[in-house]
Structure 1
Amino acid sequence: MKLPVQLVIRLEAVLSIGTHVIPHPRKAASGGEDAFFANSDAGGVFAIADGVSGWAEKDVNPALFSRELMRNSSNFLNDAEVNRDPQSLLMKAHAATSSIGSATVIIAMLEKTGTLKIASEGDCGLKIIRKGQVMFSIYPQEHYFDCPYQISSEAVGQTYQDALVCSVNLMEGDTIVSGSDGLFDNIFDQEIISIVSESPGVDEAAKALAELARKHSVDVTFDSPYSIEARSRGFDVPWWKKLLGAKLIGGKMDDITVVVAKVKTVAVPEDEGGDIEQQQGNEQGIAVAVASAEQNEE
């Protein structure tokens, strides 16, 4: 008599990823200077690069560096030397980037065990929301106010070794919100929490966050996170305007890139190995994108 076969199931963490990009109003025609990629394979990975606009003063298109950096990051994702390490991926992608320019960048990878690994250089941000609260945040690396660390084509810039590297253990239902500074300069944590909780999915949440950040960015009466931080660092209106009750206020116009990712778990048969994992990935519809604002603007 044959005994029934017992199928051992293990749970693996995966990311459901939504993205949205809105370029700076004056850069809409060219698609802006932000770039990103997202890939839901093997748990999930996403990255954002914000091209430094100062290069335009030297007749260099700042978008070329950020886009090539993201393209290279996507290409090296499964490289043996990278080995699912975001800092190593940043190293390889930066070394392969030949465009002139610089960019702030963040790369995040979810392991199947539920550990999120992050490498961040500059002022792209990332927050993790759990049960209606922000339980983790990445804060900017800066030389001084409004001058972030950046990966550069020039030797004077930072390298992958200067990146902020950390790991966070996630749970099913956690939501990751990441973006360029155009998002976090113009939107408060409580607004992020409200939109995430009210949105039916990650695509809708990413779009709603980007649109609210854009609305705030052009509002000269909005006391934005950027304005509040600037005043705290000593940047304000002239003293004589202060005597009249004035203060530095308003949003900050910029390219806005948003990634929203929700942690889910999937059941995988233990004894089937790689074939089942590959099949599972195909059934989920593995999404790979290397994009700039020109591909997402409405």
Structure 2
Amino acid sequence: MAMVTVFRASISRCLPTSFPNLFSSSSNRNSIPKKHRLLCYAASSQTKTIRSEVSFCVGTHLIPHPKKVERGGEDAFFVSDYNGGVIAVADGVSGWAEQNVDPSLFPQELMANASCLVEDEEVKYDPQILIRKAHAATSAVGSATVIVAMLETNGTLKIANVGDCGLRAIRGDRIIFSTSPQEHYFDCPYQLSSEMVGQTYLDAVVSRVEVMEGDTIVMGSDGLFDNVFDHEIVSTVAGHGDVAAAAKALANLASIHSTNSEFESPYSLEARSKGFDVPLWKKVLGMKLTGGKLDDITVIVGQVVRSQHISLLAEDQTVEAHTEQENKLES
């Protein structure tokens, strides 16, 4: 079996409304696996005989929304060493809290189910099929955006994305591939849901990117991409040779920008482009809408290496921050 680590973390957005859903949840539910405390591991000798080209070395970091620190937030993600490596992020929708539903449960179970199904024969190492089967196996009430990326050992990176979680592929000092967010309207992304509204795996944007040794993949929830520009992502990754340090630096930068009311963030620029701005009297005074977006911030940095295993370099404190909620799910 491939080694898998599942984490959880947060977001604040609208609930899915009035969008047709072609999906019905399956009655066969997958149990949520025990979480692994192993932070760095090598693949078995049997796995080594299968791999011959490239795989991921992965670092992760998560910073919950300031008001959700005690609960750990509402994002979830997992990292697997299967084949060349699998990374995924699910971003729970906070609007469910208004209906007395814990928004973190749906993305947690979605990611846990995906981690269980990575090696499923029907998945065939296809991220879109993995999303379909994980969604069908999820019984929690709620909704989430999701992105899954699977690296083949020959260097083909396969990506499936529903909503506004994102991914950047970096080679040297430039971005060679970038996902685009899917939104119904500003701040209301496409999302998988437990209800008969929302999107399905059929709505996922599917992409294939050829990567090579030395390339860097940056994946995250919109808490990263709403607060950090692409050129900042490139320069931050370049300034940190270690993937764990790079993930932490990106998350910290996003956190700093999110609390800066004067920062012209990607989020505030998009808001203004969609017609959202300060009142007219403030415009007369030369003021405009600025500031970052407070949110949960999940960052995964994967470096493509010529290796026989995937190293998981997540920080122990990140795992500890989510132990209490994970124990609740396991019970």
Separation in structure 2 between the aligned mates of residue 173 and residue 191 of structure 1, nearest angstrom: 19
The residue aligned with 1:116 is 157
The residue aligned with 1:227 is 268
- Is the CA contact 1:34–1:63 (under 8 Å) kept in the aligned structure 2? yes
Deviation at 1:294, TM superposition (A): 3.1
The residue aligned with 2:64 is 23
Deviation at 1:287, TM superposition (A): 8.4
Secondary structure at 1:135's aligned position in 2? strand
The code of the aligned residue for 1:295 comes to H
- Is the CA contact 2:59–2:313 (under 8 Å) kept in the aligned structure 1? no
Structure with the larger helix share: 1
The residue aligned with 2:73 is 32
Secondary structure at 1:17's aligned position in 2? strand
**Where in structure 2 are the equivalents of 1:211-290 lying within 5 Å?**
211-266=252-307, 280-281=308-309
The code of the aligned residue for 1:256 comes to I
Q: Deviations over 1:223-274 (max 9, x none)?
A: 11100110011110111210111100001000000000011113xxxxxxxx
- Is the CA contact 1:35–1:292 (under 8 Å) kept in the aligned structure 2? no
Separation in structure 2 between the aligned mates of residue 293 and residue 28 of structure 1, nearest angstrom: 13
Deviation at 1:189, TM superposition (A): 1.1
The residue aligned with 1:294 is 321
The residue aligned with 1:4 is none
Deviation at 1:157, TM superposition (A): 1.0
Separation in structure 2 between the aligned mates of residue 214 and residue 45 of structure 1, nearest angstrom: 26
Deviation at 1:101, TM superposition (A): 0.2
Structure with the larger strand share: 1
- Is the CA contact 1:52–1:62 (under 8 Å) kept in the aligned structure 2? yes
- The percent of aligned pairs where both chains have the same amino acid is 61
Separation in structure 1 between the aligned mates of residue 97 and residue 128 of structure 2, nearest angstrom: 28
The code of the aligned residue for 1:102 comes to S
- Is the CA contact 2:267–2:293 (under 8 Å) kept in the aligned structure 1? yes
The residue aligned with 1:186 is 227
- Is the CA contact 1:31–1:292 (under 8 Å) kept in the aligned structure 2? no
- Is the CA contact 2:88–2:149 (under 8 Å) kept in the aligned structure 1? yes
Selected match of 1:198 from 216, 239, 250: 239
Secondary structure at 1:204's aligned position in 2? helix
- Is the CA contact 1:102–1:153 (under 8 Å) kept in the aligned structure 2? yes
The residue aligned with 2:171 is 130
The code of the aligned residue for 1:93 comes to A
Secondary structure at 1:73's aligned position in 2? helix
1:160 and 2:201 equivalent? yes
Considering only aligned residues, what root-mean-square deviation do their CA atoms show, in Å? 2.0
Separation in structure 1 between the aligned mates of residue 156 and residue 271 of structure 2, nearest angstrom: 34
5+ residue gaps, structure 1, are: 1-8, 267-279
Secondary structure at 1:42's aligned position in 2? coil
Deviation at 1:221, TM superposition (A): 1.1
Q: TM-score normalized by structure 2? A: 0.79
1:97 and 2:97 equivalent? no
The residue aligned with 2:5 is none
